[in-house]
Amino acid sequence: MDYCALATARSIPIAQQIATRFDELKLEHEIGDLKIKISGCINACGHHHVGHIGILGLDRAGVENYQITLGGDHTQDAAIGQRTGPGFSAEEIIPAIERLVYAYLQHRSSAEERFIDAFRRLGMAPFKEALYGAGKTQGRRHAA
Ligand code: SF4
């Protein structure tokens, strides 16, 4: 929003908070190759749809809301990320990303299995459970 008049939700501060949080956790080397991409509106300049984890910031009735997609890939194995479900508020999105990463660390087959490869092997289910809980939705619901 500071740099683009088209933005409907902040992206740079969210990206900074994610970087700060994972620096605090000291997990960067443990996590390995993980592409998180974020866009501040549907124009998708941040190419969130091809992020291993994609974040799309939107405006929902005057409130910033962040939708998550998983499984995007910009390489020769190109794929568009799949939407996980309801979006998250600005306060909820950092803990949500953290839960996704911990789910990956819990479920990966070895330290060498990248996030994107674990997602392809496991599918959406364990990541949705990490985001929303088993059989219920913890994220703030908004109409699509
Ligand atoms: S995705 Fe592009 S148009 Fe939308 S807020 Fe970001 S830079 Fe601006």
Q: Which residues of 74-94 are buried (b: 16+ CB within 10 A; e: fewer)?
A: eeeeebebbbbebbbebebbb
The pLDDT value given to residue 113? 97
Neighbours of 30 (CB within 10 A): 11
What is the enclosing helix (H) or strand (E) of 55? strand 53-60
CATH superfamily of 12-132: Sulfite Reductase Hemoprotein, domain 1 (3.30.413.10)
- Look at strands 63-70 and 53-60 and give their pairing: antiparallel
DSSP H helical ranges for the chain: 12-25, 28-31, 90-107, 115-122, 125-132
Return per-residue pLDDT of the chain as tens, 144 residues: 778 999 999 999 999 999 999 999 998 899 999 999 999 999 999 999 999 999 999 999 999 999 999 999 999 999 999 999 999 999 999 999 999 999 999 999 999 999 999 999 999 999 999 999 976 544 444 444
The pLDDT value given to residue 137? 45
The pLDDT value given to residue 135? 61
Residue nearest to atom 6 of ligand 1 (CA): 40
What are the residue ranges spanned by the domains of the chain?
12-132
Predicted TM-score (pTM) above 0.85? yes
Pocket mutation for ligand 1, best pick of 43, 49, 55, 59 (most atoms within 8 Å of C-beta): 43
Q: Are the CB atoms for 22 and 99 separated by under 8 Å?
A: no
- Beta bridge mates, 67: 56
Pocket around ligand 1: residues whose beta carbon is below 6 Å from it? 4, 6-7, 11, 39-41, 43-46
The pLDDT value given to residue 3? 87
Residue nearest to atom 2 of ligand 1 (CA): 45
Q: Distance between CA 56 and CA 38 in Å, rounded?
A: 6
The pLDDT value given to residue 58? 96
